[in-house]
Amino acid sequence: MRAPRDLIGLIEYWLEHGKFGSLQEMTEEGIKRKLHEEDAFRPDGAVLSPDRARRGAERLAAALVLAMTFTIRAPGQDADPSLAKGAIDSRDVLGDWDQAAINALLRTGLFAPGTYGRVRFHHRSTQEYLAACWLRWLLGNNCPLTEVHRLLFVEPYGVPTVVPSLRAVAAWLSLWIPSVREQVVTREPVSLIAHGDPKSLSLPVRERLLEVYAKLDAAGNLNAERLDFRAAWMFSSPDLGSAVRKAWKANDRSEFRMHLLEFIEEGRIQACVGLARQTALDVDAEPWHRVAATRALTACADTKGLSAVAKLIRAAPDRLSARLAPRFAQLLYPQHLRTDDLID
């Protein structure tokens, strides 16, 4: 059984560089590898140059994103219209290409077979990244910045926001275009955490992002996207301590503070150990806040804080709910809770 191509690419990159790059760098590397023709004996192996293949891939990615679909009609197949609904025709996007060049592009590793006579990008994130690259290319070729802003940003009912279907594209584009980044920060700051490569954002940008996020969310003016642990890890870092503490004071909403505790954990933010310890020891705090805070203390290796939490639990184990007790047991046993404590 062949190992997945992505895994092979990661192994080769590690062997060559001795480390992994940023998400942006790794995405670029993956695209280059997938566009490279491995079979030199295939008839269309030399039809496309790397640069032309890249430009074509960007155009297709942008077309899919703007059409709010994910599939392309496979060349040479008569797709069932009722099953392939929504798939775009690559000839409509690459009208200046001959069919041989289109076929060669769609047979590269960047694309994967779909169903019912369709193909799609191998990864959705790659499609979004390439669409952002296409917009960057347009801006570098005399497209007015106002046109890109008009595409990405809207104000329905007077509320400034980012077009929902283009949030990921805007997040990627924010890495390269300052005016786009500023608009995303002021309108949908959570998009820069949930999408793109938040770890590549500078510290001042991430600090300002947290400040705006706290204010908009506290005022109820933000429909925040769900943030998973991956997003928290990608965004957070040990040097965000001051910004996290300020955001904590600015917004006491439950979900927002849960995100901050996740940032402390994933970023191992030593400067915020006090916040996590205070929350873990607060018997009136929300249970899941206390669990998240204890996870943060574990990540930050705060032995003193974890011992204090264990002591509090031993003093009144009956105060823990049937859901909360097992969580604490997982985090504190056996380093801070003895077997007798666990049984209690």
Q: Which residue has the higher pLDDT, 112 or 273?
A: 273
Whether residue 115 is predicted with pLDDT greater than 80 in this model: the reply is no
Decide if 279 contacts 289 (C-beta within 8 A): yes
pLDDT tens sequence across 306-324:
999 999 999 888 888 888 8
Task: Give CA–CA dist 142/245, Å, rounded.
Answer: 43
The per-residue pLDDT for range 143-197, each reduced to its tens digit, is 999 999 999 999 988 889 999 999 999 999 999 999 999 999 999 999 999 999 9
d(CA 340, CA 344): 6
Instruction: Report percent pLDDT > 70 for the chain.
Output: 92
- Hey, where are the domains in the chain? 22-129, 144-301
**Burial environment of residue 11 by CB neighbours within 10 A (0 to 12, 13 to 18, 19 or more):** exposed
pTM over 0.85: yes
- Whether 39 has a pLDDT exceeding 70, the answer reads no
With a CB cutoff of 8 Å and minimum separation 6, the contacts of 179 are 145, 149
Cβ neighbours of residue 177 closer than 8 Å, sequence gap 6 or more: 136, 139, 145, 148
DSSP 55-104: HHHHHHHHHHHHTT--EEEPTT----TTTSTTPBPHHHH-TTS-HHHHHH
